[in-house]
A and B are shown apart, each in its own frame.
Chain A
């Protein structure tokens, strides 16, 4: 091996072409129904040695009492703190000894109990999984502790600039009558009121087999998943279960606000509005447009605000769908002295009336979305996560494959039109978390005359 000046000796081929991607579609599940009506959605994925199970419960958070919001979260967090058969710490010990990971995810549309476990430990872990969901202990002490932990988490969230910006944006863009305007885990005022009795009541009235789906994905290693599901969930019943209709989320009037953080070296910006969900006919075109505007590395926003100006580590535009409606925003952290200029440029770039999306932008967005799908859904938990979301928000089991087909049909005109129907630059809500003493005046100078400045007390 010899040393030479590599910078002058390099000879490269011309840029190679990219061969068309091979055919790919989301795995098709085997569907069946357990004796008690739970729908089983089963994916046999050879080679996936960590099996993933999601029990999707039809418990929308708008079913919580308004003054006890957060009770679903406290119930969910206490469900693996001991069961009637295995009280206290014994339960978690048994589950973790099987190498299992267990948790209950809380989202606006409902709860999901999630188990990940090596296939070789499936039977025993699944038995415990069912126990936590159907017969949890939910003691007063456990609930009280989780209330305190949740209150501490809320404090941590308010102390974090980016989280505070996202919370304030959600609160600004959805009407107060919508559960979506408040944190899924509840705000401090209502969480404080939750106790063991309330958590047990929530479990008794809302957690049951009616409307539930069980998603199983992985290499089951000889175990019959249908029989497994029937064995541990098929006999579950809950006559007291109350079904809650899912809310229609509604918008709030637009708002421009700075939440003051004295001396902050950066400001977190959320600039956007009320949006659509995945069942809206504009969804595929809007997602293509959003990717071109602020999803790709060389998106219109990131190319200027990061790569040209160096104002930020990254700026994104994203759609955040709910079961009904949703939101969109341009978001990023910008250093304090340039934040107003960043907002000015973002507003300018976000207006596409004179610069419609191009055929090249649309083609890149479509290739990207179709290209990353096989990787995203390459593992048991990737497949199960998506299949569970499909159930949770009522999209249909073929959503991914259908959406990819629809994406391929998006034209530049459709992308521009869908984007224009959502994004009216003069009517967007602006939330900025940063040092108001430095940034408020420059923002007002941009034309945000009605800018509110909120200063925390104390």
Chain B
């Protein structure tokens, strides 16, 4: 039984490395007169120094504060005025910068990206850093501190990984560490990580390989490589031992319980197997958790499960249920644990596994149908797994995961005592 449709034609991927080590991926697509430019720097929150959590993300903001030939804020201003959508994100394993715009703006986009890769520090001032520090603190308040359950991910990370582990803190970091970040930190960080040989640039859209490559070479070729920084070596941690448990309370409308697991790193058959397992457990209306907790027993108002693939030795996964009004949270936790244990013990049915793959396929095809997300996928697979061709082979890899792979991965990582528990209660008024 297979869930996979006849494969659409493979996307062209042209893979080059400039003399300075910058990896360049070009994928022509003449469907619309637009081009996506996407850069991944191989630096994320896992690379932060002790006492500087949140710095990689703060630095992403600093990257928009101008460079030798670009005024503060002008990076986005110039691109938007050329019809671009522009943004950047920071995550455990990466910082990416991207813009998609009418193809006549390709040179502008490349020039802007090269200028900041080459000369960011020429323009960086204490004042700019301080303003962006305030902006980032507002972002933290808006997205985490002033919303119900906003601290859950930080708590789950702390339960799942030791504090000093690269994944032991979240990307947003702490207010104290943001306050402590100095101009000197920014100089050191830039010189260490923002190197052409620590980056990948992908160009996808209405271009030829020759033209795109020549323009990238023209703007980035003059940059000088540096010593490639090493990522912190945390090794591979084994599963949790089941003793991690935390109870917290806050002003939230419903009580909730979360379970978290250490998982194997992405890019492995075991991770793919567990990713499908989490999908069966908690993704969609037919998932085990929704059916049992929300639909049948009616003890939860919502439930779910998801995995986060990470490259540095381990990944992370969690499941949750939010109690229906009047339900004892202990009963909700028991019901959640019972479903997790049951699925771990019996494994997904063949239909459930097929369904998880079919859902993966739709998300995957949808992701690749846009030039911007295709460019991001190329940069991602080149940076983390050193194989941009995965955009064409990934679906077959996932489809090849069998019930025996799921059983083996579950046995190693998922038995019932290998999780952490977070109990989230309503604060008493």
Q: Which residues of chain A have a CB within 8 Å of any CB of chain B?
A: 1-4, 6-7, 9-24, 47-50, 80, 89, 92-93, 96-101, 116-121, 145, 148-149, 151-153, 155-156, 158-162, 264-266, 296-298, 303, 306-313, 333-335, 363-364, 367-372, 374-375, 378-381, 458
Contacts and interface: CB of A to CB of B under 8 A. Distances in A.
A266 B142 contact: yes
Interface string B306-338: 000000000000000010110000000000000
B162 interface: no
Interface in B115-130: 115, 118-119, 121-122, 130
Interface in B6-43: 6, 8, 19-21, 31-34
Of A11, A97, A161, most B-chain CB atoms within 10 Å = A97
B76 A298 contact: yes
B253 A159 contact: yes
Contact of A379 (B72, B147, B251, B366): B366
Given A24-B33, A47-B8, A310-B132, 6 more contacts: A13-B219, A118-B358, A266-B142, A298-B76, A308-B131, A380-B369
Contacts of A374: 32-34, 102
B21 A1 contact: yes
A6 B224 contact: yes
Contact of B351 (A92, A93, A155): A93
Closest 7 CB pairs of A and B: A371-B83, A19-B104, A310-B134, A99-B358, A22-B33, A120-B5, A21-B102
Contacts of B218: 13
A16 B85 contact: no
Contacts of A92: 284-286
B contact residues, range: 35 or more
Contact of A297 (B77, B104, B225, B291): B77
B197 A1 contact: yes
A189 B107 CA distance: 57
A50 B188 CA distance: 45
Interface of B: 3, 5-6, 8, 19-21, 31-34, 68-69, 72-74, 76-78, 80-86, 100-105, 107-108, 111, 114-115, 118-119, 121-122, 130-139, 141-143, 145-148, 191, 197, 206, 218-219, 222-227, 251-254, 284-286, 291, 294-295, 298, 301-302, 322, 324-325, 351, 354-355, 358-359, 361-362, 365-366, 369-372, 429
Given A10-B68, A49-B369, A313-B135, A368 B83 contact: yes
B366 A381 contact: yes
Contacts of B80: 296-298, 364, 368
Nearest to B301: A152
B286 A116 contact: no
10 contacts: A10-B119, A49-B8, A149-B301, A266-B138, A308-B131, A333-B141, A335-B137, A368-B83, A370-B83, A372-B83
B100 A375 contact: yes
Given A2-B224, A12-B118, A22-B104, A310 B68 contact: no
B325 A15 contact: no
B307 to A, nearest CB: 18
